Amino acid sequence: MYGTIARLRVKPGSTAKLSEELAKYPRLKIAGFVTTMLFRMDADADECYLVVAFKDKETRRQRARPQAG
């Protein structure tokens, strides 16, 4: 399994909306997608870490590459 870990600073009060958007990903049936996880920091509720996992290195690489055109 391969993925991305990102540190995010969200606007105050918008963490719930971000969580709602991330909850949609499994229903999109993205090839090779495994899961997303969002972690909020106790010390600062507006600081989050996002984990996105894919089944293999190639799928992760393809999904990370910006679309051409």
State if pTM tops 0.85. Answer: no
Distance CA 64, CA 61 (A): 5
Q: What angle do CA 4, 6, 12 make, to 5 degrees?
A: 145
Residue 29 lies in a domain: yes
Residue 14 lies in a domain: yes
Distance from chain centroid for Cα 61: 15
pLDDT, tens digit (0-9, with 9 covering 90-100), for 10-65 = 999 898 999 999 999 888 888 899 999 999 999 998 999 999 999 999 989 888 87
Residue 32 lies in a domain: yes
Contact 45, 24 (CB under 8 A): no
Enclosing domain of residue 17: 2-64
- What CATH number is associated with residue 45? 3.30.70.100
Q: What angle do CA 10, 39, 52 make, to 5 degrees?
A: 95
Please tell me the predicted confidence (pLDDT) of residue 69.
40
* Mean predicted lDDT score pLDDT of the chain: 89
Instruction: Please count the structural domains in the chain.
Output: 1
